[in-house]
A = this chain, B = another copy of it.
Amino acid sequence: MTYENLDAKLVNALLGDGRASLRSLAEELDVSVTTISNHLSDLEEEGVIEGYTPRLDYDAVGYDVTAVIQLQVEGNALPDITDTLRDHRQMISVYEVTGDYDVIAIGKFKDTDGMNEQIKALLTDPDIKASNTSVVLNAVSENEQFELDIEDA
């Protein structure tokens, strides 16, 4: 079994249960606890694994509205805009993109009123040339993390 392979299997196992114990992982992958511990530390140091989080159901805690906001931005103002968006804690993802718009951001809000209010506030920025907001009707899947390929020997 190659070195890379074990790492991929370890990551995949953790994607199944991010709080799994080192012992259960060791048993599942048929290596010693120490090996799991070493590889996991390495993966964390290399930055492959950036941390661990619970997967929250924001619906269940009152954030019922998700919106996809697309912006056309004055070229030199792009860093300012993206910084502003990132600092809005309810912005889940902020992307600089190619295409008709320069920025695509995804945010979560407690209700449509709160959403309108916040988006309106954002759009007062004179560097925003155009915008387009899509409200999510149904999140078929969201923030799914997929498993890594396992290479054969």
Contacts and interface: CB of A to CB of B under 8 A. Distances in A.
A49 B57 CA distance: 6
B138 A95 contact: yes
Interface string A28-63: 000000000000000000111111111111001100
Number of copies: 2
B68 A57 contact: no
Interface string A68-103: 100000000000001101100111111111111100
A141 interface: yes
Contacts of A83: 140
Nearest to A83: B140
Size band of the interface chain A makes with B? 35 or more
A80 B136 CA distance: 18
A134 interface: yes
Interface in A7-32: 11, 14-15, 17-19
A145 interface: yes
Nearest to A59: B47
Given A47-B57, A134-B104, A52 B140 contact: no
Nearest to A108: B146
